[in-house]
């Protein structure tokens, strides 16, 4: 998933990821470049320091893994609802 919101990963997008992922029971990991973190931890996500245009790789394992990845992917694709509606 490519980050399209101008500010990249900062507190608000990390919160949206964690809130979305928290609705599911599966284990969730997010990777950017050579770093991978727990996608259900806002503090760990913030350590990715991913700017706009960075590529996030989403991985989940568990009973609802596909649904979890799809839900988070949608949040990322929407630019965390931070995009200017023009």
Q: In what order do the strands lie in the sheet with 56-61?
A: 35-38, 27-32, 56-61
20, 28 contact by CB (below 8 A): no
Which CATH number applies to 11-79? Answer: 3.30.1340.10
d(CA 40, CA 49): 16
Q: Which residues are catalytic?
A: 10
Structure confidence by residue, pLDDT tens digits, 33-85:
999 999 999 999 999 999 999 999 999 999 999 999 999 999 999 999 887 64
* Mean pLDDT, residues 12-36 taken together: 97
Q: pTM surpassing 0.85?
A: yes
């Amino acid at each position: 998933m490519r980050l399209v919101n101008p500010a990249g990963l900062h507190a608000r997008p990390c919160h949206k990821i964690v809130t979305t992922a928290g609705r599911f029971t599966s284990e969730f990991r997010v990777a950017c470049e050579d770093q991978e973190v727990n996608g259900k931890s806002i503090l760990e996500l913030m350590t990715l320091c991913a700017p706009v245009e960075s590529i996030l790789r989403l991985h989940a394992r568990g009973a609802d893994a596909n649904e979890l990845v799809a839900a988070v992917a949608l949040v990322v694709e929407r630019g965390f609802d931070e995009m200017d509606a023009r």
